[in-house]
Copies of this chain bind each other. A is one copy, B any other.
């Protein structure tokens, strides 16, 4: 293995000078720099990342904690985050939390190992009760929900407003018996309950009462459970004519479930989701959705983290917060 010493010897300088060249420090004569660069090329020298890490305390890698990387929404988010991180010369390691509080706490615990320079954590299981656990001196950005008051950076979706707009969109299209297919209510203030609030707001504004028979909670936000929920509400005799699904994944499942129940989308029942995953444009019928601008969220989250990294050791700054914009994407499923 070629070390910085070998390069120094070959270039007739000290290891320090080689280090200066590698790290683009200014005070190196250009003639010296050229000699060093030549030696680096000749010997095919590569910095030993582990040694640099030990010395600098940085690893050049950030962690990304998501429920499961194979869910389309998180895959698309991860793709954007990896690209944004690359612009800052940061690598991204993926942790799968399994959408559980325990998994998310495990991801948090990693921070203490200083395996990564920072962590972007997409929470769905943690709640306000866990605020204290987030009070760690470690660069971290919580992604997805805005549920903690603690001094931690957030990049959030416009959950309530987006859900209200989605529901209002169905109402505009003539729906009056709108089902809400969302996560089972828990004690945590999570994505489902925020979108649940938006649904209720839109109904109230339109003067439509909430019918409990149209509230269909599911245990997991999967296509499978979305399909089962749609079938259940179709056959319940509640007279459903629209469905707001808490995520696109659930919505795609729901469209499948309605088809199985003999309901046509959008003629018999209109369906809208949330997230605007890429697949939604290609389903039959194509899926209307709320687009929270993934790329903007991903870029902002990485930007927040990079700022935190730069601030390490300095006085703690106030928590940054960003709530993404959204737009209603009307496609065939609400046509």
Q: Does A235 contact B (CB under 8 A)?
A: no
Contact B96 A94 (CB under 8 A): no
Q: Which residues of B contact A68 (CB under 8 A)?
A: 79
Q: Which residues of B contact A57 (CB under 8 A)?
A: 50
Give A240-277 interface residues, CB cut-off 8 Å to B: 252-253, 255-256, 259
Q: Which residues of B contact A47 (CB under 8 A)?
A: 113
Q: Does A309 contact B (CB under 8 A)?
A: no
Q: Does A35 contact B (CB under 8 A)?
A: no
A38 to chain B, nearest CB (A): 18
Q: How far is the CA of A255 from the CA of B284 in the complex (A)?
A: 8
Please provide the 9 A-B residue pairs with the shortest distance between their CB atoms, ordered closest to farther. A50-B53, A75-B75, A70-B79, A223-B282, A70-B75, A50-B54, A70-B76, A93-B93, A256-B282
Q: How far is the CA of A92 from the CA of B53 in the complex (A)?
A: 18
Contact B94 A279 (CB under 8 A): no
Give A64-120 interface residues, CB cut-off 8 Å to B: 68-72, 74-76, 78-79, 82-83, 91-96, 112-115
Partner of A70, one of B72, B94, B227, B256: B72
Contact A115 B256 (CB under 8 A): no
Q: How far is the CA of A74 from the CA of B71 in the complex (A)?
A: 11
Q: 0/1 per residue, A279-290, Cβ < 8 Å to B?
A: 101111010000
Q: Does A278 contact B (CB under 8 A)?
A: yes
Q: How far is the CA of A255 from the CA of B283 in the complex (A)?
A: 8
Contact A92 B91 (CB under 8 A): no
A-B pairs with beta carbons under 8 Å apart, 20 shown: A46-B113, A47-B113, A50-B53, A53-B54, A60-B115, A61-B61, A68-B79, A69-B75, A70-B78, A71-B75, A72-B279, A75-B75, A92-B93, A92-B94, A223-B279, A252-B279, A252-B282, A256-B282, A256-B284, A283-B283
Q: Which residues of B contact A76 (CB under 8 A)?
A: 70
Q: 0/1 per residue, A49-65, Cβ < 8 Å to B?
A: 11101100101110000
Q: How far is the CA of A75 from the CA of B252 in the complex (A)?
A: 18
Q: How far is the CA of A333 from the CA of B259 in the complex (A)?
A: 14
Using A46-B112, A94-B94 as known contacts, list a sample of 7 further A-B pairs with CB atoms less than 8 Å apart, ordered by residue number in A. Answer: A49-B115, A50-B53, A69-B79, A72-B279, A75-B75, A79-B96, A93-B94
A48 to chain B, nearest CB (A): 7
